[in-house]
Each structure stands twice: as C-alpha cells, then as structure tokens.
Amino acid sequence: MSIYHCSIKIISRADGRSAVASAAYRSGEKLHNEETGLTHDFTKKAGVTYTEIMLPKNAPEKYKDREVLWNDVQREEKRSDAQFAREIEVAFPVEMTNEEKVKCVKDYIKKNFVDEGMIADFSIHDKGDGNPHAHIMLTMRSFDDEKHWEKKQKTVFANARDEMGRAIFNPDLPSYNPKEKDKTAQYKIPVLDENGEQKVRVRKGKGRELLWEKITIPMNDWNDHNKAEVWRKAWADECNKYLEEDKKIDHRSYKRQGLDMEPTIHEGVIARQMEAEGKVADRCEMNREIRERNKLRDQIKELAKDITDYITEKARDIYERIRKLKGRIVDIGEARRNDGAAGNATGRNRNSDSREPIAERRIGRNAEHQRAVSEAEQQIAETDRRIEEIKKQIEDKEKEQYDRYNKIIERRRASDRAGTGSGSERRKSENNRTITNRELESFIAELNAYERITEENGYDSFEKHADGKDRFGSEGNRQEDRSRNERTEIRSGRSPEQVEEREREEKSRGHSR
C-alpha cells in the first residue's frame, strides 16, 4: 500500500545541532567538524543506498565536497540561534524500483529547490524493511553573481504606510537610496511618537538623530508558510507519475480528503528498539490504539452500508408487492363489475361465499407485509445498538490515550518543579490542570526532535585532535557526555527528565558528604 510522508524541519544551532554531524549521519560518511573539533563517523550506519549533492546556478564547484559545504555553512552562520539547513524527509512508495526512486527524488529536488537557488544534499535510506525514504538537506542562503553567499534578509527604509497606518516597503514606489541622499530623502517615513511628532534619539559622540521607519525584507520566499503546501503537493505529484491509479498518494490530511480516519504519530527508531527488546513504548502503544479505533470506525461504516443495503432491498420488495397488490385490486374490481353485469342480465344473485377467498388472500398479504416491515425495523434497531457500542469503545480508547498523555506530561512537569521551592497550592493547581491540544502537539514535536538527535548520536563516534584535546575544550566533553547519557536513557527506558533528576540527586548527595 502506498503511504504519503513528507516532513519539513529546520536544523538549528539553537537546538544543539550541527550541520556537519547531520550531513554525516544522513550520508553515512566520516566528516570533520571544524567548529567543534570533532570528527563524526557514521560509516557503520547501514541502509544508505545513494547520496548526491546538487548545485544551483552560481554555486561554487567546491561545494560538491560534503565536508567543505557544511563547514562553510556553519562558518557563515555566526548567530547562536542560526539556522543551518532545512531538511525535507520524504518516503518512497514501496512499489517503486531503486532506479525510479533516484530519478523521482532528483527531479523533485531540481524543480523545487535547485532551480530556486538552493544547494541540495540528499541521501536515500533503504534497509529493506518496507520504509524506503530520502533525507534532503537544503541551504538557507542563495548565491550572488560572484558566487558568494547572499544575506538571508536585508533592512531598508520604509517608503509608504498601509491602510492601518503601519510602515511598509512598496517596491513599486520610489525609495530612499543612501548613494543619492539628497534626491531620495523625501521617500523616508519618520517614526512617530504618541503626539504624532517624529522621534529622536541622542547618541554619544553623534548628537541628536532623527528616527526613520525601517523594514526587514527576506532575500527569498523560502521561509514562506505557503511553500510547505507547494513542496508537499509537488512530492505527491512526482511520485504519482510512477504509480497506478488505485495506488496514487495524496498530500492532504485525512480531514481535508473527507476521510473519517485518525492519523498515527511518528514512532521513531527508539520506540521500535524498545518494542524489539520486549518493552512497551508509549508511541507504539498509542498507534496501536489509533489503529484499533480506525478499525472500529471501519466496522461502523460497514454496518451502516449493510443496513442501508438491507433497507433498500426491503423497500424495493415492499414496493413491488404493493404494485402487484394494486394490480390485483384493479383486476378484482373489473371482475366484480363484469360479474354484476352478467348477474343482472341472467337474474342470478351472488352469495357472500364468493368473496371469502379474496378477503382471506388480502389478510394474508397484509400479514406478510407487516412481517417484512417488522424484520426491517428489528435489523435497524440491532444495527443502531451495535453502532452505539462501537462508538462507546472509540470514546473509551480516546479517553485512555488522553489520560496517558496527561500522565506523561505531568511527570515532566513534576520533574521541572523539583527543587524549585514552589508552594503546595501552586503544585496542587498545576496537578489539577488538564493539558491542551497545543501542549499535546508541542510534546509530540519535542519527542520527535529528541529522538532524531538521539538516533544520530547513537551511531556517532567522536574523534579528537592529535594533541588529545577538543577544539573548544570542555564543549567536546559535554557533547560526548550528552551522547553517552542519551544512549543510557535508551537502554534503561528512562526519560531525559528522569536521568537529569537522578544526576541532580547524585550531585546533592556528593555535596552533603
């Protein structure tokens, strides 16, 4: 069965991630990270069947080298919360051949990303377990005509106001040009205070300075939210070129497709490892419950279809019988009229016995009709009862899953509150508060990000410089400790909060001693 999957994420320094490490993991290669002094070795990772870097126009040829590319990206992105790359993860329909997968993803990347000015570093993963997919890492900056990285955004002076009075930049109107200050100064928009006067500031060594409205404009539209819909639809369209009509995929959600189905959540490698070891992973358990509820919904649909077909069949049968009965009544009326005319002509009188067979047949037919209607009503009542039972099962399972979410998140809250000295009333009110849908979505997103980083670190083996020291001293040790702690969490089945709580307790016992 063809299944659609296309997720879009950002690889950011703020999340403690590295572009070099991410590229090494996805390509199954050994890459040196100049920023941290670490070498990320993923050569033991299995299932990497194809890798390639595709360059756009104006991109230097040196970026065909994966290590050079992503080290240069990290060097260019200097902020502590810098975004290194955009990752798009897509799943291939299992019906496609290996050659079709490569051609499909390359065509998709060229049309949607490379032709737009992005460098695309992609890898195809296929372990033969029915989950072939591709990781596409995309640069966040384009190139100028001199093959240099362009800025992600630029700041310009506003040249107009919208209907709400807010300062905007309209490219169709004349704007301020610093190289022609005298000629274009009138196009600047002043910053106004509450009295409608232009604001001023006094800068040390520069004196009094007038303030003008400025607008930050992105250099491209790659971060536009509408792009996500375009890219997701484009992947479905590209895959459908290789699929038969009954196996085509759709990028829209079940709800947008008008399907009464509940989507499953991403399980991840950690949850599957726990299940393989005989443990019960919350994510896998949730998906089992979701599949059970979808199965119950299918039963309701099947019952509704059966009862609809049954009622239609009975209605047709009753209609046919009524039609035949009306025909017989007409025939009987005509026969009576003919008998009456003949009787009057011959002077003979009909007795009441001649009408008895007709009345008996009419009573028999009415009883048969009543039995058919009664059977249909019983069938409808039984189906309604069954549907209500299934709906009750679905509601119970949804409540059970919701309670499980509540308990998991409450454990996280309890861990966060530990040692903060909060009052009992505050803890009580927080314990009694139920989680919202937004918190559920945020919690699942955090699990996805944590499992991705843990999965990458689980394969990685760090190397140090020849002098035995990391480039940034203790930072390298902290990354090794974090990687080791995350692998310990996987083996023990403990959450990150439980591990941190245990570490705090051990430190406090050490200080007390």
- In a domain? residue 444: no
111 Cβ contact list (under 8 Å, min separation 6): 234
Q: 275 exposed, middle or buried (CB, 10 Å; 0-12, 13-18, 19+)?
A: middle
Q: 479 exposed, middle or buried (CB, 10 Å; 0-12, 13-18, 19+)?
A: buried
Segment 129-187, tens digit of pLDDT: 888 999 999 999 999 989 999 999 889 999 898 888 889 998 899 999 888 888 898 99
Tokens of 348: 């003979």
- In a domain? residue 447: no
Let me know whether 238 and 107 are in one domain.
yes
- In a domain? residue 177: yes
Let me know whether 408 and 485 are in one domain.
no
Domain count, the chain: 4
Would you tell me how many other CB atoms lie within 10 Å of the CB of residue 49?
A: 16
Let me know whether 144 and 165 are in one domain.
no
Residue after which a domain boundary falls, among 169, 199, 218: 218
User: Using 50, 70 and 90 to split pLDDT, how confident is the model at 465?
Assistant: very low
Q: Using an 8 Å Cβ cutoff, are 138 and 26 in contact?
A: no
**DSSP assignment of 294-341:** HHHHHHHHHHHHHHHHHHHHHHHHHHHHHHHHHHHHHHHHHHHHHHHH
Residue after which a domain boundary falls, among 236, 251, 266: 251
pLDDT of residue 328: 65
Residue entry with tokens 């005319």: 341
Let me know whether 146 and 158 are in one domain.
no
Let me know whether 509 and 392 are in one domain.
no
Residue after which a domain boundary falls, among 251, 266, 301: 251
Tokens of 84: 């290194």
Let me know whether 346 and 401 are in one domain.
yes
- In a domain? residue 356: yes
User: Using 50, 70 and 90 to split pLDDT, how confident is the model at 368?
Assistant: low
> Of the ranges 69-83, 131-145, 231-245, 248-262, which one carries the lowest mean pLDDT score?
248-262
Let me know whether 195 and 101 are in one domain.
no
- In a domain? residue 306: yes
Let me know whether 297 and 358 are in one domain.
yes
Segment 95-142, tens digit of pLDDT: 999 999 999 999 999 999 999 999 999 999 999 888 899 999 999 999
434 Cβ contact list (under 8 Å, min separation 6): 406
- In a domain? residue 453: no
CA–CA separation, 387 and 379 (whole Å):
12
Let me know whether 214 and 142 are in one domain.
no
Q: Work out whether the CA dihedral 241, 243, 244, 249 comes out positive or negative.
A: negative
Flag whether pLDDT at 212 surpasses 60.
yes
pLDDT of residue 389: 75
The phi, psi pair for 456, rounded to 5°, reads -65, -45
User: What CATH number is given to the structural domain containing 142?
Assistant: 3.30.930.30
C-alpha 77: how far from chain center? 28
Let me know whether 323 and 244 are in one domain.
no
User: Using 50, 70 and 90 to split pLDDT, how confident is the model at 242?
Assistant: very high
Let me know whether 228 and 126 are in one domain.
yes
203 Cβ contact list (under 8 Å, min separation 6): 209
CA–CA separation, 22 and 78 (whole Å):
18
- In a domain? residue 106: yes
pLDDT of residue 302: 76
Let me know whether 146 and 161 are in one domain.
no
- In a domain? residue 104: yes
- For the chain, the residue count is 513
- Residue 101 structural domain: 6-150+223-251
- Answer whether 0.85 is exceeded by the pTM: no
Please indicate whether residue 359 or residue 43 has the higher confidence score (pLDDT): 43
